[in-house]
Amino acid sequence: MPTTELPNFLTRYPDGQIKVSGTRVVLYHFVHDYNQGLSAEELALQFPTIPLATVHKVIAFYLENRTEVDRSAAEYAAQAEELAGTIPEVNTAALRERLAQVHPAGAA
């Protein structure tokens, strides 16, 4: 994420993530939705823990630091995709079969 000093409405966590201060909203997700075309008002509805005035501040920060934030967002997305690839596929049919063995139909 941006190496510049963050304004008081953004907080950098030890893992490197930047969140909107006082919320669990990661800057990456906020920026993603903004780039999908959501307006400031729609973002405030999407993230109800962020006051509209703060939404405008976050958008302004993003626009002023767009290159750095976009580069970091691309890295974040790549890491998330790589992590998703490590999650084993769940065989729901096998799970249902095991469940049926443990709890046969009609058992009281």
CB atoms within 10 A of CB 21: 15
Domains by residue range for the chain, with CATH: 10-102 (1.10.10.10)
Q: What is the pLDDT along the chain (108 residues), one digit of tens a residue?
A: 555 689 999 999 888 889 999 999 999 999 999 999 999 999 999 999 999 999 999 999 999 999 999 998 888 788 878 888 788 888 888 888 888 888 887 655
CB–CB of 27/33 below 8 Å? no
The alpha carbon dihedral of 32, 33, 38, 39 has a sign of negative
Alpha-carbon dihedral 57, 77, 66, 1, rounded to 10 degrees: 80
Find where tokens 């509209």 sit.
Answer: 52
28-48 burial by CB neighbour count: b if 16+ within 10 A, else e?
bbbbeebeeebeeeebbeebe
CB–CB of 11/19 below 8 Å? yes
Q: What is the pTM of this model?
A: 0.72
